[in-house]
Structure 1
Amino acid sequence: MASSSTTLLSLFLFLFLNLNLSESRLTLDYYQKRCPQFQQIVQQTITSKQIQSPTTAAATLRLFLHDCLLPNGCDSSILLSSTPFTKTERDNDINLSLPGDAFDVIVRIKTALELACPNTVSCSDILVTATRDLLIMLGGPHFNVYLGRRDGRSSISTTVNGFLPKPTMSISEITKIFTNRGFTVEEMVALSGAHTVGFSHCSEFTSEIYNNSSSVSSSYNPRFVEGLRKACGDYRNNPSLSVFNDIMTPNKFDNVYFQNLPKGLGVLKSDHGLFSDPITRPFVETFAADQDRFFRVFAKSMEKLSLLGVKTGRRGEIRRRCDQIN
């Protein structure tokens, strides 16, 4: 009798542990049986949205970076809306300029998936998959997306402070943010290459282009500064004024961003810093000369970033709506 009880207990523990392991394991084909339409729905939705709003890809990439770099990692906490009791990450000052197109495309995908496969696909998996596929649409590199994440249940504005790079930061400050999260300097520079697409608001760099000090003026190409001043002339009355980060190929994911930096065609202070800093400059020069190298390091870094702080099993949930916990 005792032997039979022991056998049953051992069997129970075996099944329990294996269920937990299967819940916690990220795989490339996680939704193959759970939601066979997953990839098709993502593809159809992002294609439609990108055609409608060509800034969607760059916007989604930025949203992804702002979610995964935080201490709680890739758990789509950036998508949660504030409540009367809690100000979320989304409403931290640094995130107020996150473009609406990125939030919209995630909502569209989630809505379609909830109709096809209710309570099955997490917002976290949607965000990383949409980011990867949108980048490929712009000519960027493929990287593996391991699936099976759960969504976080917490999002607090104050946790953002000090964990996201600001355009006014020095390169040493930005480097520290990434190295503290386990990235090398080369990987940090590669991820900065995300600026090869997208735009920056004039308010983020006007202090630079209207500064007449010799150190600032020598960083920018003189004709480029003149063009930026014209484009941003009315920024005080129109805070939404912005310019492309890469003026040469703004809608193509390539290495032209790095080729622009030695020519003084960087928009932000942090862009110029990558080339002027002796530690990061060699990587800028390598990526400018070798797009394949840039793509390889960028893809590796994005995969690494997508796995930071991932929640699985009971550590998270599958939200029914991406902007609120269940």
Structure 2
Amino acid sequence: MAAVKIYCLALCLMSTAVAANQLRVGFYAQTCPRAETLVRQALNDALRSDAGIGADLLRMHFHDCFVRGCDGSILLDSVNGNSVEKNAGINQSIEDEAFDVVDQAKVNVEAVCPGVVSCADILAFLARDSVAHYGGWFYAVPAGRRDGRISISSESTSNLPTENFRLGQLVQNFKNKGLSPSEMVTLSGAHTIGVAHCVAFTRRLYNSSSSTGVDPTLDPTYAAQLRRSCPTLTTDEEVPMDPPSQFGFDNSYYQGILRNRGLFTSDQSLLTAPFSAAQVNLFARNSASFQSSFAAAMVKMGNIGVLTGFNGEIRKKCRVVN
């Protein structure tokens, strides 16, 4: 019963969050009632050959929303040599196959409802379905976003947080997008799934000012494991973001932070202030609290800078403007 109450609370928070931007749950109920099912079909097909693809799709939605708002601009390909968001270094670790999933989802809905469902909404649905696939809570996604026509690589670099951010930088970065410090800690929990490239964190293993060369905030046993997977500063291998739970969307990420096993500097920095440390402790012992908070934070994030009404367009193909 308690879980049901928490879920209901999340739904109430969602209703409040969506009102201002004209997004609504069931937006395609009349114009394309099978939209979400068709999108989920593309994800399920992809997961059969790549169990980790959902983590890339969740990350892609986050990276889309933090640059020009949730308008699908991360999906656009370069035209005439222009450098678009997906070309930015910070987006290079997103697998090409993740963009293929979006393309297939678009093909699915276009075959049934041509010119109706936006690529930005497809990406939001895919992110939610990915969370649910790995064991997170299934939450209602308000829709009605339209697609943007502009994508600039440098805007990804200047708007997205990096793995080396300290707590104050994270708080300011999320504040710039209308998200609270609490929502920043909550959304960081997405790191409970997926993988990271060694080069994103090897400075913590080989370039520290400590006598061992290892960041003293990193558990020594975990550091030794990481060094075996990443034997040099420039190794380009992949390791799980949250080894006990690579394919499980749960609160293991926060439990790892309490054991000094946050993979990135940005992860472990969540213990450096009382407010964030308290939230890490809460989520580490209360999975339902994390799940409900994450659902609400995702809906709020999905409202950042959205295009609605007659703004933007409904792309025929997600990689190119009409």
Question: Scaled by the length of structure 1, what TM-score is found?
Answer: 0.88
Q: Is residue 259 of structure 2 the alignment partner of residue 263 of structure 1? A: yes
CA distance in 1, matches of 2:156, 2:42: 30
How do 1:1-12 and structure 2 match up within 5 A?
Answer: none
What is the CA distance between 1:204 and its match in structure 2? 0.4
Q: Is residue 71 of structure 2 the alignment partner of residue 75 of structure 1? A: yes
CA distance in 1, matches of 2:206, 2:274: 26
Structure 2 residue identity aligned to 1:155: S
CA distance in 2, matches of 1:220, 1:142: 33
User: What secondary structure is seen at the aligned counterpart in 2 of 1:254?
Assistant: coil
Find the counterpart in structure 2 of residue 181 from structure 1: 177
The one-character-per-residue Cα deviations of 1:232-275 (angstroms, maximum 9, x if unpaired) are 12674x62x11111011110000010001121211111111112
Find the counterpart in structure 1 of residue 57 from structure 2: 60
4+ aligned runs moved over 6 Å, structure 1: none
Q: Which runs of 5+ in 1 are unaligned?
A: 1-23
- Which is higher, the Rg of structure 1 or of structure 2? 1
CA distance in 2, matches of 1:306, 1:91: 22
Find the counterpart in structure 1 of residue 223 from structure 2: 225
CA contact (8 A) 1:74 1:124 kept: yes
Aligned to 2:287, which of 276, 288, 291?
291
The number of residue pairs the alignment matches comes to 300
CA contact (8 A) 1:27 1:147 kept: yes
CA contact (8 A) 1:87 1:156 kept: yes
User: What secondary structure is seen at the aligned counterpart in 2 of 1:200?
Assistant: strand
Find the counterpart in structure 1 of residue 16 from structure 2: none
User: What secondary structure is seen at the aligned counterpart in 2 of 1:162?
Assistant: helix
Structure 1 residue identity aligned to 2:178: G
Structure 1 residue identity aligned to 2:227: R
User: What secondary structure is seen at the aligned counterpart in 2 of 1:297?
Assistant: helix
User: What secondary structure is seen at the aligned counterpart in 1 of 2:109?
Assistant: helix
CA contact (8 A) 1:196 1:252 kept: yes
CA contact (8 A) 1:74 1:309 kept: yes
Find the counterpart in structure 1 of residue 270 from structure 2: 274
CA contact (8 A) 2:167 2:272 kept: no
What is the CA distance between 1:178 and its match in structure 2? 0.4
CA distance in 2, matches of 1:242, 1:279: 32
The one-character-per-residue Cα deviations of 1:53-92 (angstroms, maximum 9, x if unpaired) are 111111100000000012x200000000112252111112
What is the CA distance between 1:143 and its match in structure 2? 2.5
Aligned to 2:150, which of 146, 154, 159?
154
Aligned to 2:45, which of 48, 67, 73?
48
Q: Is residue 104 of structure 2 the alignment partner of residue 100 of structure 1? A: no
User: What secondary structure is seen at the aligned counterpart in 1 of 2:196?
Assistant: strand
Aligned to 2:112, which of 116, 123, 126?
116
Find the counterpart in structure 1 of residue 9 from structure 2: none
Q: State the identity %.
A: 37
Deviates more, 1:72-81 or 1:263-272: 263-272
Find the counterpart in structure 1 of residue 209 from structure 2: 213
The one-character-per-residue Cα deviations of 1:288-313 (angstroms, maximum 9, x if unpaired) are 11111111211111000111111112
